[in-house]
Amino acid sequence: MKCLYCNGDMVLIKDIFHADRFGIHLTIDHLPVYKCVNCGEILVETEQVKLIQKTLSELEDSLGRKAA
């Protein structure tokens, strides 16, 4: 896989992911991501993004924290 920004090689690594939304702070250790060896750009696969979004939405619902 090639980087969309610099055309460098993307390698699969495990990284720390942080998301902050409506007072909810989510940290995921060891999330598989692709990282460009040249510029450091990170790419998260679609299925993982969907799972993160679903988790955040469920947390927002259970805590009553949604955007107005």
Specify if 43 maps to a domain.
yes
Q: Average the pLDDT over 19-46 and give the result.
A: 94
Specify if 4 maps to a domain.
no
Specify if 68 maps to a domain.
no
Task: Measure the CA–CA gap between 12 and 53, rounded to whole angstroms.
Answer: 21
Locate all alpha helices (DSSP H) within 1-68, ordered by sequence.
46-63
Check: CB of residue 2 under 8 Å from CB of residue 9: yes
The CATH number of whichever domain residue 34 belongs to comes to 3.10.20
Q: What is the pTM of this model?
A: 0.78
In this predicted structure, the answer to whether residue 68 has a pLDDT above a threshold of 70 is no
In this predicted structure, the answer to whether residue 28 has a pLDDT above a threshold of 70 is yes
Domain of residue 58, residue span: 10-63
Specify if 2 maps to a domain.
no
**Count of structural domains, the chain:** 1
Specify if 45 maps to a domain.
yes
